[in-house]
Structure 1
């Protein structure tokens, strides 16, 4: 249901990565768009903890399965389904757009495995950048343009938020608060409910057992409200399911075939 990006070489959305530089991309420009084509068919998008309060108003927030959980905004319950964008990638309703989505086609990456610094890179397969694009220049001579500086700052802020998110997840793991999630949704007209698994969520029973001094420190640090944002957002799972059904993208009921005698 909610799998984190699994490509060992490239993160979700990216088909390739090249470093941005004034030698090869001196005439490149960047254009804005109202079509996030890279979101089409993507049902789960990574989130940073700073985004929980806003994202929780629109999406269920869960954690990917595995030893290195990643917070995810569910934009659909089934693989290949995103109920918030149409076939062209346009948003179909007013929703919060995760920073991970807004960052594309740029990101910070190490040019070599042992590199100490991150470099601003981009996906060369995008149609948002290029010499023929009608948009803001990426360079002013050999110097980065204001648009490039702003994107670099955005990507740096995202990386910092990513580190805080990793620390948040480690705190949950330290107290064994994550458990395998399961939700059963009963659809009218079907005898059996649709059961969704493959994600993690906070175990409320264990949360109630956390010591008072730990809860106090979480409240002071702002971690506790993030936990509640996650838990409250799970009520939206049924709303996402209803959207899928309304769009004709709900799960298919497999007919039970009686065994041949």
Structure 2
């Protein structure tokens, strides 16, 4: 079989395993949709921000997309790879004739499929259930595309690299979910970024989630609302630079730290 055919088969297998795990489906796939629906129901139809009036669904949509990107890429891979390393799955795969790159292509396929499916579900719910108007300008969707791709790409390689941090499958949940949850609260996912204390803004700005959320706000918010950002603009060039740097850093870290064997094994 060709490498492409093996990668496709591996992707299908990864998707089957993913959707068999109800906890993974809920906490990484359905969670942003449920949170968006909850916030929209709690805050109602009118939500004022910086002189502009938005529905709650429109206000929270960029943050939910950004959070979803990190859940389906970073969290999914950091957990699944660490567990597969701990239970010996990676060790067994390494001893098979399957090209090692096919394993990673399967993970990329998993992230791509779940991220796109989650995004489609979020947009459908937002448009049909909460009657939020989506952007019509091609430039807005072009911005959306590069922010989404850089966010998913960076989250994927960083998740693979971060999988080495967990010492065992038992500790993986706390090591992965805890820090990511904190980042969601300080990166403009659940709260207006400008309302977060300045020192926490500086911490959040060191990580990609803040920049994905800001990029998504530039797509789904009225252009006048960029004055409410800390810098007074959407900062597209800086967003692209930061996300690209994290993508490159994730690739380097993955290449240097990835191991097929758990710690202490031969």
TM-score, shorter chain, exceeding 0.5: no
- Identify the structure with the greater strand proportion: 1
Whichever of the two has the greater Rg, that structure is 1
- Identify the structure with the greater helix proportion: 2
User: TM-score, normalising length from structure 1?
Assistant: 0.26
User: TM-score, normalising length from structure 2?
Assistant: 0.25
